[in-house]
Structure 1
Amino acid sequence: MSAFITPEIRRRIKSRKTAVAGVAAVAAATVAFSLVPSGDAEAGVRTEAVAAAPVAWKADSKQIAAVQESITGQQSAFEAQFKATQAKAKAEAKAKAVAEKKAAAQAAAEKRAKNEAASRSAARTPAKVTYPNNLDGWIREALSIMKKHDIPGTYEGIHRNIMRESSGNPRAINNWDINAINGVPSKGLLQVIKPTFDAYHVPGTAHDQYDPVANIVAACNYAADRYGSMDNVNSAY
């Protein structure tokens, strides 16, 4: 059939091929343009970004993986730090409890030792003796004081002389003998005069001739100096 194609027909066929190629180019451009938002002046640049999107997505995936790995590492570090903090707090609480228990035990031991020391001191220190306010009590209290001052005498010797001198009356006074005439009457349980009482008064007792204990102790002190003991006195002395 090529023998029958004239130059005019060839020209028309070429012209049609050119038109079809143009239409194809326009269609391709239309497809590319449809991928770009309308109104963008830099459509070519946008088209290139779209074409490069798979590469960027791959790069973002790597970044996401790196971020996830970093987060996982930070979480592990946080958990390790949290566990370490818990362990430290537990150890400190245990140490505090042990210290408090030790302090309580020490305080209890000190209190117990203090109480024991107080008990021993109380045992060593005799309780203060009280005496009845009567002749028996006066003589026994006088004997206790005489013992501290090494003044001799017995209960029997003191009691015997008291009964003879005053019949046990601590306010007894002699207003008729020579001492009374001289202005120094005998007074008290053992009838001592003022000069004798003052000279033989024992410190720690009342400075009063009528005080029963002071009277007994001073009289026994005088009798010990003159007769060796009140036990040796059997009459006026």
Structure 2
Amino acid sequence: MTWLVRGERSVGRPWRRWIFDGTATMVAFAVASPYVFYDDRHNVAPAMIALVAVHAPLLLRRVYPVPVFAWVFVAASAAVLWNDHVIGGLGVLVALYTVVATQPRRTASAATALVEVAALSAALTSSSESRTVDALLLSGLVGLATGLGIHSWTRRAYLAELISRAVHLEIERDQQGALAAAAERDRISREMHDIVAHHLTVMVALSDGAAAATASSPERGIEVMRVVSETGRSALADTRRLLGAA
């Protein structure tokens, strides 16, 4: 079982997806931005730069799901350790959702466990009096992102299965059509062989008889040759009928 699945190609990607991912990136950045203004120990500018560094890669989350998740997770963790007002939690959840929705279950499980451990560690080691509530809240958010990702992955897998079945049925239909056409050609070939062989046999026998009868009875020879002509016309008519029916 593979650990990674290639993301979408950046070239030729629908512009609607770029707009959607850009909007999601800006929303995650906007949600995290107000917290930096409550910090009295650090300048706002470096904190905003840190937030940009955390959230900007989300624009490529569906092109490089795992690298973007790794970058966002590490950058968000480093940023919050440097300044606890630089919170990139929503960006991490968006990146986690993308990994769960697009990658194999092993990778998705590893990413979920990593974020869950980090969230619980951050909540339980904080100085807040509501550490337990914070831990439950963060754990619930991780579960929500994971659940949405699983739903999206299941839907993708279902659609892929439907497409695979449709392609398989189309191939099977084409194969059956080819087999039927081959069987029909074989039938026509056999019938033509029988018709031509039968009439040619009759014509050869009549021709031999006509040649033998001409010396003693020219009229009899002429009559036999007429029968030969009729046999040839009958063979031609049968052949045309057979080809016309095909």
Question: What interval of TM-score do these two structures reach, taking the shorter chain for normalisation?
Answer: 0.3 to 0.5
Q: TM-score, normalised by structure 1?
A: 0.33
Greater relative contact order structure (CA < 8 Å, 6+ sep): 2
Q: TM-score, normalised by structure 2?
A: 0.32
Query: Which structure has the bigger radius of gyration?
Result: 1
